[in-house]
Structure 1
Amino acid sequence: MVSGDAARLQQVIWNLLSNAIKFTPNGGQVNIWLDRVGNEAEITVRDTGKGIRSDFLPHIFESFRQEDASTTRRYGGLGLGLAIVRQLVEAHGGTITADSPGEGKGATFTVRLPLLNVEPESIQIEEECDREVNFSGLRVLIVDDEPDASELLTVMLTQYGAEVMSVSSAAQVLANLESFQPDVLVSDIGMPDVDGYSLIEQIRALPAEKGGQVPAIALTAYAREEDYQRAIASGYQCHITKPFNLEELLKAVMTLVRANLNYPIQYESEN
Structure 2
Amino acid sequence: MANNFSFTGLSEVASKETPIDSDQLLVEGVSNRILKWVSYSCAFVSLMFLIAFAFDESISVSWFFVSQVIAFLLIPILAKSGFENTAKFILILYVDVSIVLLSSIFEGEVYVQFFFIPTMGLAILLFDYKYIHLRNISIMISVISFFVIDFISIDSIILSEDNVDVIRWSVLTASFITTWIIFNTFSESKEKAEQATKKLLEKEQDLNKQLSHKQDELQTYIDQLEVTSLELEKSARAKSDFLATMSHEIRTPMNAILGMTHLLKEDDPREDQLESINILDFSGRTLLALINDILDFSKIDAGKIEFEQTEFELQQLVSTISETFKVTATNKRIELKTEIEDEMPNTLIGDPARLTQILNNLVSNALKFTEKGSVKINVKALEETDDEVKIEFKVIDTGIGIEEDRLDSVFESFTQANTTTTRLFGGTGLGLSISKQLTELQGGRIFVESEIGKGSTFSVQLLFPKGTAKEKIEAGVILDEFVKLKGTRVLLAEDNPVNQKVMTRFLERWEIITTVVNDGHEVIAELESNEYDIILMDLQMPELNGFETTERIRAFEDEKKRKIPIVALTAAALKEVKDQVQEVGMDAYVTKPFNPVELKKKISELTRL
What's the TM-score once normalised by structure 2's chain length? 0.25
Does the alignment pair 1:254 with 2:593?
no
Change (3 A) 1:174 1:238: same
Q: Where does structure 1 differ by over 6 angstroms across 4 or more consecutive aligned residues?
A: 124-127
8 Å CA contact 1:84–1:151 kept in 2: the answer is no
Counterpart of 2:591 in structure 1 is 241
Counterpart of 2:274 in structure 1 is 97
Amino acid of the residue matched to residue 598 of structure 2?
E
Change (3 A) 1:99 1:250: closer
Amino acid of the residue matched to residue 250 of structure 1?
K
Counterpart of 2:546 in structure 1 is 196
Q: Distance in 1 between matches of 2:593 and 2:258?
A: 11
Change (3 A) 1:94 1:180: farther
Counterpart of 1:148 in structure 2 is 498
Q: Which has the larger radius of gyration?
A: 2
Does the alignment pair 1:136 with 2:313?
no
Question: Secondary structure of the residue that 1:236 maps to in structure 2?
Answer: coil
Counterpart of 2:136 in structure 1 is none
8 Å CA contact 1:190–1:220 kept in 2: the answer is yes
Deviation of the 1:84 alpha carbon: 5.0
Amino acid of the residue matched to residue 566 of structure 2?
A
8 Å CA contact 1:207–1:213 kept in 2: the answer is no
Does the alignment pair 1:78 with 2:256?
no
Amino acid of the residue matched to residue 235 of structure 1?
G
The Cα offsets for residues 111-131 of structure 1, whole Å up to 9 and x where unpaired, read as: xxxxxxxxxxxxx99694164
Q: Distance in 1 between matches of 2:501 and 2:477?
A: 27
Question: Secondary structure of the residue that 1:233 maps to in structure 2?
Answer: helix
Q: Distance in 2 between matches of 1:229 and 1:84?
A: 26
The Cα offsets for residues 48-70 of structure 1, whole Å up to 9 and x where unpaired, read as: xxxxxxxxxxxxxxxxxxxxx9x
Q: Distance in 2 between matches of 1:132 and 1:90?
A: 23
The Cα offsets for residues 89-129 of structure 1, whole Å up to 9 and x where unpaired, read as: 344433543659xxxxxxxxxxxxxxxxxxxxxxx996941
Output aligned runs, 1:17-166, within 5 Å.
78-79=253-254, 82-94=257-269, 96-97=273-274, 99=276, 128-129=476-477, 131=480, 133-134=482-483, 135-166=485-516
**Higher share in strand:** 1
Question: Secondary structure of the residue that 2:539 maps to in structure 1?
Answer: coil
Change (3 A) 1:231 1:80: closer
Deviation of the 1:216 alpha carbon: 0.3
Q: List gaps (5 residues or longer) in structure 1.
A: 1-68, 101-123, 260-271
Counterpart of 2:568 in structure 1 is 218
Q: Distance in 1 between matches of 2:563 and 2:534?
A: 10
8 Å CA contact 2:256–2:499 kept in 1: the answer is no
Deviation of the 1:222 alpha carbon: 2.0
8 Å CA contact 2:265–2:274 kept in 1: the answer is no
Deviation of the 1:154 alpha carbon: 1.0
Amino acid of the residue matched to residue 477 of structure 2?
C
Deviation of the 1:158 alpha carbon: 1.1
The Cα offsets for residues 2-23 of structure 1, whole Å up to 9 and x where unpaired, read as: xxxxxxxxxxxxxxxxxxxxxx
Amino acid of the residue matched to residue 242 of structure 1?
K
Identity value in percent: 28
Q: Distance in 2 between matches of 1:81 and 1:244?
A: 10
Counterpart of 1:231 in structure 2 is 581
8 Å CA contact 1:200–1:234 kept in 2: the answer is yes
Amino acid of the residue matched to residue 97 of structure 1?
L
Q: Distance in 1 between matches of 2:266 and 2:260?
A: 10
Amino acid of the residue matched to residue 593 of structure 2?
P
Q: Distance in 1 between matches of 2:574 and 2:589?
A: 11
Change (3 A) 1:227 1:128: farther
**Higher share in helix:** 2
Amino acid of the residue matched to residue 269 of structure 2?
G
Question: Secondary structure of the residue that 2:569 maps to in structure 1?
Answer: strand
Q: Distance in 1 between matches of 2:518 and 2:490?
A: 14
Q: List gaps (5 residues or longer) in structure 2.
A: 1-245, 278-322, 327-474
The Cα offsets for residues 218-262 of structure 1, whole Å up to 9 and x where unpaired, read as: 010122222111101101000111222100100111111122xxx
The Cα offsets for residues 24-68 of structure 1, whole Å up to 9 and x where unpaired, read as: xxxxxxxxxxxxxxxxxxxxxxxxxxxxxxxxxxxxxxxxxxxxx
The Cα offsets for residues 115-170 of structure 1, whole Å up to 9 and x where unpaired, read as: xxxxxxxxx99694164722111000101110111111111111011000111111
8 Å CA contact 1:219–1:242 kept in 2: the answer is yes
- For the aligned residue pairs, the C-alpha RMSD in angstroms reads 3.0
Change (3 A) 1:190 1:128: farther
What's the TM-score once normalised by structure 1's chain length? 0.53
Q: Distance in 2 between matches of 1:182 and 1:128?
A: 31
